[in-house]
Structure 1
Amino acid sequence: MTTVEINPIIDNARFTRFHWMVVALCALLLIFDGYDLFIYGVVLPALMTEWSLTPVQAGALGSYALFGMMFGAFIFGPMADRIGRKKGIAICFVMFSLATFLNGFATSPTEFGFFRFIAGLGCGGLMPNAVALMNEYAPKRARGTLVALMFSGYSLGGVLSAGLGIYVLPRFGWQAMFWAAAVPLLLLPVILWKLPESVGFLIRQGRQSQARTLLGCVNPEAPIAVNARLIASDAKGAGVPMLDLVKEGRAAGTCMIWIAFFCCLLMVYALGSWLPKLMANAGYSLGSSLSFLLALNFGGMAGAIAGGWLGDRFSLPKVVLSFFAVGTVAIALLGYNSPMPVLYLLITVAGATTIGTQILLYANTAQFYPLAMRSTGLGWASGVGRTGAIVGPLLGGSLMAAALPLQLNFLAFAVPGLVAALAMGIFIWRYRDSAGTPVASDSASTAKPPLQVSPVVSR
């Protein structure tokens, strides 16, 4: 019996309708995910008024969903390597949609925090699995672009949340924002029908016929003999232990990725939770404050797509480093009195280099780990990063409670960007080839880092 390696078939595939379907479905899921996450920043001013919350209490309440996301990433990332990414994604989607809907019936901060925690479990599990699935099926030459395009749905969800809030909050109250989260559940049958399972998972399960059918959709120009046995070069079987993430020279890369995730998510959720409130305190109306959140998420979409395109043509780790450096400057400048066009530009750049960079970090992480441990690697990176997401709203609440000048608030939000840039600099230096080019990407399959470390075998 002949054996056929699946990775070259996927890597060299021509872009087809199948790829568009995977991108569209994963992006749709992340739109709902982004809506559920950014909704807290939209309703925060109304909640603080209705429940008489202090800034510290409001920051703690905002962190409940992020605690859930941390545990969700730790649980559902590795779980999907065992039960399949399709099942993992479906479970997470139902969990966060139902919990967010129930949030609209909360009558106290305690009830609200409980449902936000459950919603966070689902949101935290969905992200790494959607990225891993998209990364698995994307052709090599467009992998970064497609993952970034898919993940721009997350920012679009934030745009939807802020845009809907401008209309809904004054007319129907904050509860209606949460009730709207039940509508996406109508699409669950479509997702279960059309979303493909991981081909690597099917091979590990011995489901050769289903894997062969999927590969025929991915690359119709690469016929596979009926009696051929499909293999994945880096498949290790189900149940990948966390310790594998630091073996075979991956320890330094894993640590730097975790630091970058922590800092990036701290900035994303500090801005996402507190930007409207900070701007309202600075004298802007509620509508204007929510429009700043719109600009932040539009910037996130633009940054993700542009960054993915640049990463496919140059070096994804270097693009991430550059984004962190630019984001540090843009966020620090937000605290100064600027003309309105300049302020919107700075907020858009801040969104591009925080939300957009988060998306690029997922793409870079997916390319760093082999296929068999990709969901585990993404889940742990996302989970560790969620500690930064938890710190973000708490930091914002503490800064507001201290009544610091606006400049110092944004300067504190900018410092993690500098730390993340340093971490990515170390990552690039550690995983470069003899020509000095970072190999934390698909090029690692042909280039070997110094000291015979080769942790970045794509797929």
Structure 2
Amino acid sequence: MAHSTTSKKQKILIVFLCFWVAFFEGFDLQAPGIAAQGIAASYALDQVQMGYVFSLGVFGMLFGAFFGGRVADYLGQKKVLMLSIGIFGVFMALTAIAPNLEILYLARFLTGLGLGAAMPTMISVVGDEATEENRGKLNSLMYCGLPVGAIFVAGLAMLVTDIKWQTLFLIGGLTPLLLIPFMAVILKDKPRVVKQASNEDVPGMAQVLFKQQQYKNTLPLWVGFFFTLMINYILISWLPNLLMQQGLEKQQAFLVMLVFQVGAVIGTLGLGYLLDRLKLWQMAVIIYSGLFIALSLLFTTTAVPVLILAGVMGGIFSTGGQSILYGISPIFYSGSGKVTGVGTAISLGRLGAMTGPLLTGKILALGLGTTGILMASLPAVVVSAVAVTALSRYKAKQDSR
């Protein structure tokens, strides 16, 4: 195993580096939600077109996660991680100076493509350093970079009230490029997988995902990822806008978004700690019950103190729940197919993440408001809970073998 050959210092550096990659993903996820009104004003966009701005980045992530994971199994994780950060940084910066709507859409798509390839690679890099005892802890330390990045954007927008949306995207695009030289030095390049006489060295995608009884892990994992990320992205993309439509002032809406992301840090670290101690079905009960309550409060009340509480809960259970899925996904796949398995699960999650903001745009355009969004979200919570509970059963069987 890789973790036995890695010095403790290097292990810390690897997790720290991946934390910063996650930080910039969080920055990019939150920036369009914070900048939504500015972007809509600059390009004269309606709600459906804003749905595309949110979703095209996620659409890029879907392709990035799907192909990036596969490419990393061949070329090595280090090269793919460096390349994906380069693509992400350049095109996020381009978003800020896009001369027209078409270039804006393209820049969002390619930003997502770079980020999408980074995530499964990064999860596998950290997974290679983890043991059964510290898997939840290491994964949550890496993944909490995502809500911290989002907090940074929300905090910046609250503190610098007249900050231009273009400035946010330039900061988020140019800064991650500084990580690339550090990656070149710190990350180890795993020996690439070479196809030899036996085809088992590089298993085909279908073999990785469905061979023998593997589909019993793959399908519930996909369902859990799809619906959990769908809800998470509805909240990240639309919440500030929805709260302002419910009558909150801009700064109050940003405050709820800020505490949502503070909750996300608490959830990522707290649930990661619990993952090393509880059974997966117990985690599912905690996460999805909490999410059910949080959504019900967020979309039915206008009282700011209640919204702040609901915002914290929403962050704990939607982003925290998502980080648990990321943490457990590598254990269902082995060997050279691991990044492929994780990458396809994340791709399905991205499909949900893309569906969420688009669906919300359509629901709002139909005039169904937050009640319509709530009605679309709650069944998704129940389905996710069932899927993750099913995974618990299969995990217990695997552990007993």
Normalising by structure 1, we get a TM-score of 0.82
Equivalent positions of 1:37-48 (< 5 A) are: 37-48=29-40
State the match for 2:301 in structure 1. 337
SS at match of 2:301: coil
Counterpart selection for 1:65 from 57, 81, 87: 57
Counterpart selection for 2:210 from 243, 246, 251: 246
State the match for 1:118 in structure 2. 110
State the match for 2:356 in structure 1. 392
CA drift at 1:412: 2.5
Q: Is the 8 A contact 1:85 1:133 kept in 2?
A: yes
Structure 1 CA distance for aligned equivalents of residues 140 and 62 of structure 2: 22
CA drift at 1:362: 1.0
SS at match of 1:313: coil
State the match for 1:177 in structure 2. 168
CA drift at 1:431: 4.2
Distance verdict in 2 for CA 1:315–1:164, change over 3 Å: same
Alpha-carbon deviations, 1:109-139, whole Å to 9, x = none?
Answer: 2211100000010111111110111011123
Equivalent positions of 1:270-349 (< 5 A) are: 270-316=234-280, 318-337=282-301, 339-349=303-313
Number of residue-to-residue matches in the alignment: 397
The AA in structure 2 aligned to 1:188 is: I
Unaligned runs of 5+ in 1: 1-5, 207-234, 434-438, 449-459
Alpha-carbon deviations, 1:265-286, whole Å to 9, x = none?
Answer: 1111111110000001111121
Counterpart selection for 1:18 from 10, 19, 39: 10
State the match for 1:376 in structure 2. 340
Equivalent positions of 1:173-212 (< 5 A) are: 173-180=164-171, 181-198=173-190, 201=191, 204=193
Q: Is the 8 A contact 1:56 1:394 kept in 2?
A: yes
Percent sequence identity is: 29
State the match for 2:379 in structure 1. 415
CA drift at 1:89: 0.6
Q: Is the 8 A contact 2:3 2:128 kept in 1?
A: no
CA drift at 1:312: 0.6
Larger Rg, first or second structure (1 or 2) = 1
Q: Is the 8 A contact 1:242 1:376 kept in 2?
A: no
Structure 1 CA distance for aligned equivalents of residues 67 and 119 of structure 2: 12
State the match for 2:318 in structure 1. 354
Q: Is the 8 A contact 1:276 1:289 kept in 2?
A: yes
SS at match of 2:235: helix
Return structure 1 stretches of 4+ with deviation > 6 angstroms. none
Alpha-carbon deviations, 1:307-351, whole Å to 9, x = none?
Answer: 111111122453144302321221122122264332211111111
Equivalent positions of 1:448-459 (< 5 A) are: 448=401
Distance verdict in 2 for CA 1:19–1:7, change over 3 Å: closer
SS at match of 1:140: coil
State the match for 2:388 in structure 1. 424
Q: Is the 8 A contact 1:240 1:372 kept in 2?
A: no
Higher helix residue share: 2
Distance verdict in 2 for CA 1:111–1:20, change over 3 Å: same
CA drift at 1:185: 1.2
Counterpart selection for 1:140 from 132, 147, 156: 132
Structure 2 CA distance for aligned equivalents of residues 368 and 268 of structure 1: 23
Alpha-carbon deviations, 1:367-414, whole Å to 9, x = none?
Answer: 111132110011100111111111111111112112224334334233
Q: Is the 8 A contact 1:332 1:413 kept in 2?
A: no
Alpha-carbon deviations, 1:62-83, whole Å to 9, x = none?
Answer: 1111110111011100110100
SS at match of 2:201: coil
State the match for 1:86 in structure 2. 78
Structure 2 CA distance for aligned equivalents of residues 108 and 332 of structure 1: 38
The AA in structure 2 aligned to 1:191 is: M
CA drift at 1:195: 2.1
Structure 2 CA distance for aligned equivalents of residues 336 and 172 of structure 1: 31
The AA in structure 2 aligned to 1:350 is: G
Normalising by structure 2, we get a TM-score of 0.93
